[in-house]
Amino acid sequence: MSSRRTFTRPGRIAAIAPYLWLALFFLVPFGFVLKISLSQTAIAQPPYLPVFDLTQGWEAIKPALAALSLDNFRLLISDNLYALSYLRSLFVAAVSTSILLVIGYPIAYGMARLPRRWQAVAMMLVIVPFWTSFLIRIYAWINILQHDGLLNQVLLALHLVSAPVVWLSTDSAMYLGIVYSYLPFMILPLYATLAKIDPALLEAAGDLGSSPRQAFWQVTFPLSWPGIGAGVLLCFIPIVGEFVIPDLLAGSNSMMIGQTLWLEFFTNKDWPVASAAAVVLLLLLLAPLTFYDRLQRRQLEGAR
Amino acid sequence: MADELPKPEPRVDVTDVPLLRIEGVTKKFGVFRAVDRLSLDIRAGEFFALLGPSGCGKTTLLRMLAGFETPDQGRILLNGRDIAQVLPHRRPVNMMFQNYALFPHLTVRENIAFGLKRAGMPRSEIEKRVAGLVALLKLQGMEKRRPDQLSGGQKQRVALARALARQPQVLLLDEPLAALDKKLRESTQLELMELQRRLRMTFIIVTHDQEEAMTVAHRIGVMDNGRLEQVATPRELYEAPNSRWIAEFVGDVNMFEGQVSSREAGRLTISTRDAGTIVAAEPRQPTPKAAVCVAIRPEKVKLARRGPASDSVNSRAINRLEGIVTDVSYLGGLTTYKVKLDTGAVVRSSMANTARLEFDSYMASQRVVAWFTPDDCVVLEQ
């Protein structure tokens, strides 16, 4: 009885809205990408074949469908440039996410233990950098890291180095940029989870014989898993597809998949191969997403 | 099963040395003195209740016993050892938390075993101890559930089992039953008493519910403004409060202010504005001041249509107040009446409904005599 009457009519429309949104702005464009990934490159406008012309009716579309092929995906496998790009992306994302977790967890933990009114201030401090454009902040880093930039000046002034160090166009610079840019995405979900943990639980652990350090590992840490999961995914997934930061800060000897995609799309004008690379990236990212989904479902079941 | 459970070793000198001695303990939060130079002895095997209005410092005191707060001054001696500065995880004391503070990520079994694991107890012994507690607190079949799959009453029992698991020398209970509904609370109070009697463990409970304190505790310490106002058995507290504040805080009371006009042979004659002249028994500790107040519990005030049949010995001494019944509340076991005296003051009386048919009941606007004996009066300083 209650299940049928869960939603009133406007309620039902509101419940459908997110799906409509997803269909319109995710599923339909993904259909385009998938179709292009199965097409052949061509010197034409648009630069691929076949083109579906819906105005010509079903008879015209049938041969076009027959012209679709998996050639682009075969190319992705045969040329290890792509495989290396994927691996580098996953590697960079994994390393960056680990660094983010190691830095972000103590910050979030510290924030959650601040007195209430200072928590809001700390939250502002985490968010405020977002008010400046992302690109400007990355360019600012270039400025700091360049040959006669602020970092080298400070290091020289402190006599820590005798000659300017090359920072730009190195992996260190890229990791620095990524960690800097994604830190709030790690801190905020962790903070939200940690702040919710009842302090009485830590007292209970202490009362039952845990030292403060033991209480952290036995109570706080296990209870912060949802936050860790959310923070890791929020960072890992976009970092895998990251383009701007590696392009501006890293060297040009190895590329992340975002850069390879850009190259195929804009330099080589090979839309079909770029689309195929994008489809594969999406499939790769489905794995951690499914994992997170299962984690969340378990949490929900636990909560019942 | 229950026989394997916490059973503190027999103690020597139980009569002389209190298990727990609180000596001049003060705790300040800023300039606010939550606990103010408080001293208290608690004997081994005692069920002690700390009772008081919210903000009186009872929870702060309990938290100092658990180690979550450190006293600014004073000592807390457990078996003669000062534990005031000892960290919570090093104290042989356990606490049952107000909202239970069960670990949400652990099962019932893991929650109960938590403290035993920390103590480094061998696995087989943990199993045995947990099984004993599960049986004692009737938690069979719940061992694998997580706290959010339990009812309020079940959570309460898990919290109790977890706090008992380490066989603490003192078990602290912070408003342990506040989250339960009335019926369940009453039955749980009886279970708590039974448990305490069986384990012969020392229990200290903090509560703001005086009925609860009176039901479960051997002795009650009533706190106000960080100090103990009175420490006494429930009966003493109710029948012989040592101050006007206690008399008014514990239970209902009729209070009349007046002046002592004469003292003779264990009797005080007190002239009051609201209730005329009252003859009261001289209190055990005589009040030196003339300005006093007389406290009479409502159930000690009896109603009659006429003055009670005069009794040759006491007739002169019986206090009679004439007035009109203004309010009648039938509560089942008893009926409470409000009687407006001719002086304008109101006296409350409650009478047990011992007969099923209405022999003794009075109606509103009926003229009655409210009477009580000198021994029913408690004379207190104003």
Residues 174-233 of B with CB under 8 A from A: none
Residues of chain A contacting B166 with CB distance shorter than 8 Å: 208-209
Look at chain B and report how many structural domains it folds into: 2
Mutate to test the interface with A, among B95, B100, B121 (most CBs of A within 10 A): B95
* Cα gap A76→A80, rounded to integer Å: 7
Quick check: is A279 in a domain? yes
Residues of chain A contacting B95 with CB distance shorter than 8 Å: 203-204, 207
Report whether A222 contacts A292 (CB < 8 A).
no
The mean pLDDT value for B275-300 works out to 86
Q: Taking the CB of residue A181, how many other CB atoms lie within 10 A of it?
A: 23
pTM of the model: 0.83
Query: What one-character-per-residue DSSP string does B93-129 give?
Result: EEEE-TT----TTS-HHHHHHHHHHHTT--HHHHHHH
Residues of chain A contacting B94 with CB distance shorter than 8 Å: 207-208
B359: CB partners within 8 A, 6+ apart: none
pLDDT digits (tens, 9 = 90+) for B299-308: 999 988 865 5
The mean pLDDT value for B117-135 works out to 95
Quick check: is A5 in a domain? no
* Cα gap A304→A282, rounded to integer Å: 33
Answer whether B148 touches A (CB < 8 Å). Answer: yes
A172: CB partners within 8 A, 6+ apart: none
Residue of chain A minimizing CA distance to B104: A223
| pLDDT for B307 | 56
Quick check: is A53 in a domain? no
pLDDT digits (tens, 9 = 90+) for B298-355: 999 998 886 555 554 455 557 889 999 999 999 988 999 999 998 899 999 999 988 8
Quick check: is B110 in a domain? no
Tokens standing for A298? Answer: 């378990």
| pLDDT for B6 | 47
* Cα gap B143→B152, rounded to integer Å: 16
Confidence of residue A55 (pLDDT cuts 50, 70, 90): confident
Last residue in a domain, options B178, B211, B239 = B239
Cα end-to-end span (Å), chain A: 21
Tell me which amino acid residue B98 is: Q
Report whether B364 contacts B326 (CB < 8 A).
yes
Closest listed residue to residue B203, CA positions, set B236, B163, B155: B163
Quick check: is A221 in a domain? yes
* Cα gap B55→B34, rounded to integer Å: 8
Quick check: is B6 in a domain? yes
| pLDDT for B233 | 96
Q: Taking the CB of residue A51, how many other CB atoms lie within 10 A of it?
A: 13
Residues paired with residue B347 on neighbouring β-strands, in sequence order: B339
Tokens standing for B232? Answer: 């006494």
| pLDDT for A253 | 80
Residues spanned by the domain of A136: 71-303
Query: What one-character-per-residue DSSP string does A153-207 give?
Result: HHHHHTTS-SS----TTSHHHHHHHHHHHHHHHHHHHHHHHHHHS-HHHHHHHHH
| B88–A222 CB contact, under 8 Å | no
Tokens standing for B41? Answer: 């002895």
Quick check: is B142 in a domain? no
Tokens standing for B144? Answer: 């694998």
Quick check: is A58 in a domain? no
Mutate to test the interface with B, among A193, A203, A208, A295 (most CBs of B within 10 A): A208
| pLDDT for A6 | 59
Quick check: is A148 in a domain? yes
**pLDDT greater at residue B320 or residue A295:** B320
Report whether B118 contacts A208 (CB < 8 A).
yes
Average pLDDT of chain A to the nearest whole number = 89
Residues of chain A contacting B87 with CB distance shorter than 8 Å: 206, 211
| B115–A206 CB contact, under 8 Å | no
Answer whether B155 touches A (CB < 8 Å). Answer: no
> Does the pLDDT of residue A195 top 90, yes or no?
yes
Residues spanned by the domain of B341: 252-309+316-381
| A-B contacts at Cβ under 8 angstroms | 69
| Main-chain dihedrals φ then ψ at residue A73, nearest 5 degrees | -65, -35
Range from A2-6, A54-58, A146-150, B209-213 carrying the lowest mean pLDDT: A2-6
Average pLDDT of chain B to the nearest whole number = 89
Quick check: is B198 in a domain? yes
CATH classification of the domain holding A289: 1.10.3720.10
Mutate to test the interface with B, among A207, A210, A301 (most CBs of B within 10 A): A207
| pLDDT above 90 coverage of chain B, percent | 73
Closest listed residue to residue B373, CA positions, set B250, B267, B259, B287: B267
Confidence of residue B52 (pLDDT cuts 50, 70, 90): very high
Report whether B160 contacts B205 (CB < 8 A).
no
| pLDDT for A63 | 81
Quick check: is A227 in a domain? yes
* Cα gap A32→B169, rounded to integer Å: 72
Range from A76-80, A120-124, B2-6, B328-332 carrying the lowest mean pLDDT: B2-6
Q: Do B260 and B219 fall into the same domain?
A: no
Tokens standing for A302? Answer: 């636990």
CATH classification of the domain holding B275: 2.40.50.100
| pLDDT for B12 | 44
| pLDDT for A31 | 92
Helix (H) or strand (E) holding A77: helix A71-78
Q: Is B234 exposed, middle or buried (0-12, 13-18, 19+ CB in 10 A)?
A: buried
| pLDDT for A11 | 77
* Cα gap B243→B257, rounded to integer Å: 13
**Rg value, chain A, Cα:** 25
pLDDT digits (tens, 9 = 90+) for A215-233: 999 999 999 999 999 999 9
Q: Do B72 and B202 fall into the same domain?
A: yes
Quick check: is B67 in a domain? yes
| pLDDT for A252 | 80
Residues of chain B contacting A204 with CB distance shorter than 8 Å: 95, 97, 101-103, 162
| B101–A208 CB contact, under 8 Å | no
Quick check: is B218 in a domain? yes
Distance of CA B43 to the CA centre of its chain: 17
Distance of CA B31 to the CA centre of its chain: 29
The mean pLDDT value for B53-76 works out to 95
DSSP H stretches of helix in chain B = 58-66, 108-118, 123-136, 152-164, 182-199, 210-216, 234-239, 244-249
Tell me which amino acid residue A303 is: A
| pLDDT for A52 | 80
Closest listed residue to residue B37, CA positions, set B61, B19, B55, B18: B61
Q: Do B87 and B173 fall into the same domain?
A: yes
Residues paired with residue B267 on neighbouring β-strands, in sequence order: B264, B281
Closest listed residue to residue A70, CA positions, set A246, A242, A280: A280
Helix (H) or strand (E) holding B257: strand B254-264
Look at chain A and report how many structural domains it folds into: 1
| B101–A209 CB contact, under 8 Å | no
Cα end-to-end span (Å), chain B: 55
